[in-house]
Copies of this chain bind each other. A is one copy, B any other.
Amino acid sequence: MTALTLDRLETPALLLDEARMQRNIDRMRARLQRLGVAFRPHVKTNKSLEVTQRLLPDGPGPITVSTLLEADFFAQHGFTDILYAVCIAPNKFAHAAALQDRGVRLTLILDSLQTAGLLAAERRRSGRSWPVLVEVDSDGHRSGVKPDAPELLEIGRFLEDAGIPVHGVMTHAGSSYDCRSIDAIRAMAQQERDAVVRAAQRLRAAGSACPVVSVGSTPTATFAEDLSGVTEVRAGVFVFFDLVMAGIKVCRVDDIALSVLGTVIGHRPDMGWTLVDAGWMAMSRDRGTAGQPVDQGYGLVCDLDGNPIEDLIMAGANQEHGILAHRSGKVQGALQLPVGTQVRILPNHACSTAAQYGQYHVVGADGAVTATWRRFNGWSA
């Protein structure tokens, strides 16, 4: 059989460099093992059976999901220990019950007395409850209860009284994405750990068992030095990495395992532009590097071997058109890549770019496509 080489692919297409991915996985697993914490990978980035199987090579282990569709999919493939890491809404109770009925130990999260009240009402109505973690706000980034807030203990007491034991606490230091140095990420990791361990201590002192203490973000998981008191780490983006992560030095550009294959379709020499058939629909509208010291536009352009073409970025994008230009905007010296030339474009954000595709073309060491792995998107089948 002839190998399927990249030049035989129709573009745009999503490429996954298997060796880089495996290196990213091995590094994170070894690190968490050294730190003595369990790994509950977040599958929201990959949404793929094959990738998740490589994250958990010993068989279906604990996973974190961002949608109940992810829970459905992985349950179907034998994963039974699933944390749904978005505060639960009542219109999802029926779905959560169906997952439980098929044998999934689905853990839910909440951060308010209002939601605790809705769960208690559901338990009274249907006799149904789920293990719950209380979300802790460790960095003012999003949701969660402050570790020292009176409400934390009120939620704990309310749940215990309602017959819903507090299974633990969790937090996500999303602000680590905005750190500008490794020292800052290390400090954020410590802050994340301290906040959630403190919350667990308070709940335990008030009588909850609270066995689970869960943290997670790719930057903090990569640089945490002390995870004492933490029982598990969630992280997802590290499996592919991206330009945002490279921009804050959590990875190197050549760790990025995901790229979009595009083809040159025209030029505007007067503007210094090279046009490709991969626009924002192919890259996503994510401009996550816009606020970083090095703005990569919609992506960093590489040759077919995955090596950056110096200072060529996707400077602009229409729905199906990418405008490649020199980073500086200079017109003279713009590269002349003839029509038909293929390029690989590294994405700002792995989660958003991957979500534009239904499959990964897996690229092996020799540059040939060795497999096609399906991925899914959305919230319902």
Binding site for B on A (CB under 8 A): 7-13, 44, 66-68, 86-92, 95, 110-112, 114-115, 118, 140, 142-143, 174, 263-268, 271, 275, 277, 280-282, 284-287, 318-321, 323, 338-340, 342, 349, 351-352, 355-359, 377-380
**A10, B320: Cα distance in complex, Å:** 31
B residues near A321, Cβ cutoff 8 Å: 86, 142-143
Grouping DSSP codes into helix (H, G, I), strand (E, B) and loop, the A interface class, with mixed when no group exceeds half, is loop
The answer to whether A319 touches B44, judged by C-beta atoms less than 8 angstroms apart, is: yes
**A351, B356: Cα distance in complex, Å:** 12
B residues near A318, Cβ cutoff 8 Å: 142, 174
The answer to whether B91 touches A143, judged by C-beta atoms less than 8 angstroms apart, is: no
Closest-by-CB residue of B relative to A286 is: B285
**A263, B90: Cα distance in complex, Å:** 9
The answer to whether A92 touches B143, judged by C-beta atoms less than 8 angstroms apart, is: no
The answer to whether A379 touches B114, judged by C-beta atoms less than 8 angstroms apart, is: no
Given contacts A66-B320, A86-B277, A280-B352, contact A379 B12 (CB under 8 A): yes
Known contacts A86-B265, A112-B267, A284-B284, then 5 further A-B pairs from the complex at CB < 8 Å, ordered by chain A residue? A91-B342, A110-B266, A143-B268, A285-B352, A287-B287
B residues near A349, Cβ cutoff 8 Å: 285
The answer to whether B340 touches A90, judged by C-beta atoms less than 8 angstroms apart, is: yes
Closest-by-CB residue of B relative to A380 is: B10
Q: What are 29 sample pairs from A and B whose C-beta atoms fall under 8 A apart?
A: A8-B91, A10-B68, A10-B92, A10-B95, A11-B92, A44-B319, A44-B320, A66-B320, A86-B320, A86-B321, A87-B265, A89-B265, A89-B277, A91-B340, A114-B338, A115-B265, A115-B339, A118-B339, A140-B271, A142-B318, A143-B265, A280-B352, A281-B352, A282-B379, A285-B349, A287-B287, A319-B351, A356-B377, A358-B377
Chain B nearest CB from A119 CB (Å) reads 10
**A115, B321: Cα distance in complex, Å:** 16
B residues near A115, Cβ cutoff 8 Å: 265-266, 339
The answer to whether A356 touches B355, judged by C-beta atoms less than 8 angstroms apart, is: yes
Chain B nearest CB from A239 CB (Å) reads 15
The answer to whether A378 touches B358, judged by C-beta atoms less than 8 angstroms apart, is: yes
B residues near A275, Cβ cutoff 8 Å: 87, 142-143
The answer to whether A66 touches B319, judged by C-beta atoms less than 8 angstroms apart, is: yes
B residues near A140, Cβ cutoff 8 Å: 271
B residues near A266, Cβ cutoff 8 Å: 87, 110-112, 114-115, 143
